[in-house]
Homo-oligomer: A and B are copies of this chain.
């Protein structure tokens, strides 16, 4: 039977299960990546597991998040990660090399391989004909230890691209159009596979832009074929020999289908404060802006910086605009410098920032009070920029640059100039020699742990009768940024669970931590639809669990956070009837009798509201293995028993 590319990629890595959508499968993971914000826990987990050497083909650790170093904590983390790479046999990419996704793409992406990354935007590698999935750190640690990755076989949404992008419209507008259609939850448990004649004019980096922000629609993975564009990219990176053609079989079909005619697109923009609040730029044109921000893994290509440079060349930036240039990688920065495009940006008054994730994760560059910031980044969740009441719009580099010149939101087609020409150079600087490879002969390496690096807390099993108050009732689309914020103050605490837990739910309820500490016992949290969307940070789950949250009840849940909750022994349950959401009040005492037994018997549980004596039916979509993890009190407990006993 003719298979689409997503199916082929899964089939070639299938360890168990069938390709029937919804059925549990396990797949072999070839490569992993982590960044420093998630990687310190991954390494602590590898240490807790007692791993000697990685069991993947390749695993890489990047340092791109915590680069501000306002005290010792970030620097200590970097040294810890470097020592852990030496100990366990990972590649180490030092601060300054760039954001994990484009650097991994340049150095390690190979068509046909699987990649599991402790960063939600790992799906970007789908641009290279890979199956690339973001996951919580613990699952990446497990993959490093050789454990297959378990998930439910997703549906595959085939998106046929036709036509050709008009001038001033670029890849970002394609993914914004997808978000307009799909919203932030339209692709949960789906793989989005792009195909069709419209691909012909999209470079591998253009596809990276689209694949990356697949995460914003809730996709499990974004998939593109590996074709001539991928071959040209690999040649640019001096590794054409890694090229393998990957494409759907002739006549393959999809579980769902959609079509975008690129010729019909115009510049789009996502309004505050959700990536799916997409309108045409012209609908909001004229609003004064404070900031125009170029960079992040959502627009990491050379053209995403070179086109802005060629737009501004010889012009004058609006006096009131901060034009922030965030190079995504060292390779890109070197090339911009060599080509003269960097000079064009500097001459006009742009601010050049350190290579890395920067303001995209709230690590600097926060906008002024009440002012508009235009950004090429993937997300604009409330407060993610660092400014609590921020007004962040997501758009293409072209729109951001036109607006920086005019001082107001501007459709780039309204600039009085021709669309600048850009062609990809045949070769780019070879960046791989700057990464530190695993040692060929492993030697005893001591982990370097600064005073902020604390061991993982031990978490006990679920009680036989789970009782506690509903400590927080939240609404729809709660993101992991709201469960546990990032930003310059909090990100440096990623290696210290007790310390970072103070900020749990602080964006929603600033007294949550105090109330949880006062309770000092088990409790529940309720959410609406798409609970836990956004970043893959497992700290959102770990800190919830650390404060006693044993069960989350929601209308629907985002894939990665749901699994992170399971990994740390927190029950993720769903309302059978959405109306029941309104029947529970904050502070009600709730109870579940023998939760594990109920789940085992029929994958559902009865929730008792103790004050009224009423019960509510909750369903779960847990696999047998996931129930086993919950029964063990989390994945570390489970894997210690199940896998480590083998290794020893």
Contacts and interface: CB of A to CB of B under 8 A. Distances in A.
A488 B75 contact: no
A337 B342 CA distance: 7
A72 B371 CA distance: 10
Contacts of A362: 70
Contacts of A82: 319-320
A120 to B, nearest CB: 22
A355 interface: yes
A487 interface: yes
A69 interface: yes
Residue from A69, A322, A353, A365 having most chain B Cβ neighbours under 10 A: A69
Interface in A321-359: 322, 330, 333-334, 337-338, 340, 342-343, 346-347, 349-355, 359
A450 interface: yes
A349 B94 contact: yes
Contacts of A368: 72, 75-76, 78-79, 450
Given A334-B346, A352-B354, A352-B355, A366 B488 contact: no
Number of identical monomers bound together in the oligomeric complex: 2
Given A338-B343, A349-B434, A355-B351, A364 B68 contact: yes
Contact of A436 (B319, B359, B451): B319
Interface residues of A, number: 58
Contacts of A75: 290-291, 322, 366-369, 371, 387
Chain A interface main SS type? loop
Contact of A96 (B333, B352, B450): B352
A388 B71 CA distance: 8
B488 A70 contact: yes
A386 interface: yes
A167 interface: no
A489 interface: yes
A359 B367 CA distance: 21
A70 B364 contact: yes
A75 B387 CA distance: 10
Contacts of A333: 346, 352
A68 B71 contact: no
A77 to B, nearest CB: 9
A547 B352 CA distance: 40
A429 interface: yes
Given A343-B334, A451-B369, A71 B387 contact: yes
A62 to B, nearest CB: 14
A468 interface: no
B451 A69 contact: no
Nearest to A434: B349
A626 B75 CA distance: 46
B489 A70 contact: yes
A70 B366 contact: yes
Nearest to A488: B70
Given A72-B366, A369-B450, A330 B355 contact: no
Contact of A386 (B69, B78, B320, B330): B69
A350 B96 contact: yes
A82 B371 CA distance: 15
Interface string A263-294: 00000000000000000000000000011000
A369 B489 contact: no
A354 B355 contact: no
A95 interface: yes
Contacts of A338: 340, 343
Contacts of A434: 347, 349
A369 B492 CA distance: 14
Given A96-B352, A434-B349, A369 B72 contact: yes
A626 to B, nearest CB: 38
Interface in A386-443: 386-388, 429, 434, 436
B337 A367 contact: no
A369 B97 CA distance: 23
A349 B387 contact: no
Interface string A71-92: 1101110110010000000000
A450 B343 CA distance: 33
Given A68-B364, A76-B369, A347-B429, 18 more contacts: A69-B364, A69-B366, A69-B367, A72-B366, A72-B386, A74-B366, A75-B291, A75-B371, A76-B368, A96-B350, A96-B351, A334-B343, A337-B337, A337-B343, A349-B434, A351-B354, A352-B355, A368-B450
24 contacts: A68-B364, A68-B488, A70-B489, A71-B386, A72-B367, A72-B387, A75-B290, A75-B291, A75-B366, A76-B368, A78-B322, A79-B320, A82-B320, A95-B322, A96-B349, A334-B347, A337-B337, A337-B342, A337-B343, A349-B434, A351-B354, A351-B355, A353-B354, A368-B450
